[in-house]
Structure 1
Amino acid sequence: MEESLFLTVLITGMFLVCAGLGIAILLSPSSFNAQKGQAYECGIPTHGTSWMQFKVGYYLYAILYLLFDVEAVFLFPWSTVVRQLGTPGLISILFFLLILGLGLAYAWRKGALKWK
């Protein structure tokens, strides 16, 4: 009973996705214009090539921000059940914060946080 229900839902889902994509391909207007392939930035025409190099510092900041932002998100579920976890939960989150702090200290020591 459960297997047939699962297969029915799976097949129906695949059919609806394929039908939606097929209808969109059939009904959507399609035309190619050279202007469509150009880079677009807030309505301002671009000057020169859109391929240019950026300093690696921008990428380091972005990666560090994502790293610490994602790790900070892990604190929210923990904070909702902190009383139920007790002392082992507190010790585990302190260990987590220690590793997070060591990562920040390492990035700081390597100079990844200096804006040059």
Structure 2
Amino acid sequence: MASKRVTSVITTAVTIFAAPEHQTGKITAINIDNQSAAARTLIFQDVFTPDASVGTPSPSAQTVVRLQVTIAAGQSISVDRNTLEDIRILGTAKVVGDATSTLCVILTNYHFE
């Protein structure tokens, strides 16, 4: 199982991992430590391009929100297993925050299926 540690950033999504072709990514744990002075909202995204088909020969990239979490100032949380159970990443897993803060740390564990 792999892990990725990132800090909350605004407007620019940070890559957590990219699923290999013909596999999906499975997030198994998310721990967030927000020691900043304000609450932070984090959006976990899946960015992927569907395969070409007869009806859509040149599909465009899709961004799907898989999870949104708000963490109070000075709090730490672990996203429970039931919340993560049905989340599958088809392309690149990314996270974006509502504000820049090096005091909001996100630790994500994942593997590929």
Q: TM-score, normalised by structure 1?
A: 0.18
- Structure having the higher strand fraction is 2
- Structure with greater contact order relative to length (CA < 8 Å, sep ≥ 6): 2
Rg larger in 1 or in 2? 1
Task: Compare the two structures and name the one with the higher helix fraction.
Answer: 1
Q: TM-score, normalised by structure 2?
A: 0.18
